[in-house]
Each structure stands twice: as structure tokens, then as C-alpha cells.
Amino acid sequence: MSTVRETAALLPDPDRLRAHLRALAVLDSTIAGDPRFCTYTYDADWGPGVEAGLMDNGSGDDFSVLFTPAGVLIRGFDHESEMSPYGTDDAQVWPGVIDDVPEALRPLLDEPSFFDEGIDVPGVTACLWREPGDTAWQTGAAILFPADREDPDGSGFLFHLLTDRSPEAAQAHFEDYYERSIPLEAIRHVLAGHPLTPAITTALNPATEVTAAATVKP
């Protein structure tokens, strides 16, 4: 079984996670050539003092990684999960998922975009956090996961490019999503934190020479 607890053990520290999310947003923006088609975006001015790495696959699944001075909060939502508020009898967040979120980070869950009309709780099936001084990612201590699912909270597929940060994993994802070949070396260049060059931009998207400005706000 893959759950948020396995995810917590595989995530890097916040600085490396931030850099990786920014790189994924650069890759997605450049490969897509149109921000409307991007799954991964990064907003350095998401809220007062808050940066956000975001994923929305357009099919009802999304995550938000929110970087603040008080720490980092990761919220993931798998719309097909039994642990979705839509899958519970009382339309509530699955017990234990957010119960232990620290007070300093809990207000982040009140973001209006995390709520759907008619539901009074945020859309969340997986949640992790890390406060300054923590040496590991934290999750709810009392979550009882459905026993008959391989990926009960959706964390396995929601965060797969965060837990496997290899160029090969990113290449496989973007080739599948955009249905075309993408050079591994170009992906490796961006994931290593190097700036886009005309040659790398063309390698990622021969049809255009866009930059990531539309989806990665400095």
C-alpha cells in the first residue's frame, strides 16, 4: 500500500522541493507553449508571504505545496479516493488527515479555492507539513486508511514527480501527457536548475520559443 506516510519518507527538504517544483513548472510551460495546457505551475506571490507549487490535471485531481515563513503545507486531493469528502457519509475530511496540522499552518487550509460549492470542508485526501526545525515531513498520526486500496489517499499518483525526481520520470510523464518525444538531456538541464537557453527551449518545444514567465512568477 502506498500512502502519504510513504510519500513523507521520499520527499526532499523544503529548499530542494521548492527548486524541483519550479523546474517542473518551467518544463511544463515550455513544453506546452500555452499556459492553458499546463499541469504544473509555480507562483512566488500566491499570497502574502506565501509561494505555491501547484498541480492540477484538469480531471479533478490537484495538489498545492505552500511555502511560508511558518513552514510548508502540502495538500493533495484525489477525487476518486474513498477518503474524499465526497466519498464520506457526512461530507467531511477523512479522520486524521488534517487533525494534527500545526496551528501556524492550519489557516492555509481555508483558501477558498480548496472548497467546492456545497461542501464546507477543503478538498483534501492527503496532507503533509514541515515546520522550521523539523528534520522530516509530518502526517496525521491517527489516519486509518481503507485497507482494500493500493493508493487509498491518492498520494502515490499525485506526488509521483515529487518522490521520484529523476529526469527519466519527468520525461515519461511529459511524453505521455503531451504525446510526443522530449529529449532527456533537455529535461535533465532544467531539473538541474540551469536557465533556459534558446537551444534547450527549442529542444523542449520546437514549435515555439516561449519562456516560463506565464506560469512561474518571479
What's the pLDDT tens digit per position in 63-92? Answer: 999 999 999 999 999 999 999 998 877 889
Domain membership flag for residue 1: no
Tell me, yes or no, whether 3 lies in a domain. Answer: no
The total number of structural domains that make up the chain: 1
Do residues 53 and 22 make contact, with C-beta atoms less than 8 angstroms apart?
A: yes
Against a cut of 0.75, is the pTM above it? yes
Closest C-alpha to 160, from 39, 32, 79, 37: 39
Q: Is residue 102 part of a domain?
A: yes
Mean pLDDT, residues 190-210 taken together: 89
Kind and range of the H or E run holding 63 = strand 62-68
Q: Rg (Cα) of the chain, in Å, rounded?
A: 17
What is the share, in percent, of the chain residues with pLDDT greater than 90?
Answer: 86
Distance of CA 205 to the CA centre of its chain: 23
Residue numbers of the domain that contains 68: 10-217
- 60 part of a folded domain: yes
Query: Is 82 part of any domain?
Result: yes
Which positions ≥6 away from 156 have C-beta within 8 Å?
Answer: 2, 3, 6, 7, 150
Is 4 contained in some domain? no
User: What pLDDT shows up at residue 1?
Assistant: 79
Q: What percent of the chain has pLDDT over 70?
A: 95
Q: Has residue 2 been placed in a domain?
A: no
Is residue 176 assigned to a domain?
A: yes
Q: Bin 102: left if φ > 0, else alpha if -120 < ψ < 50, else beta.
A: beta
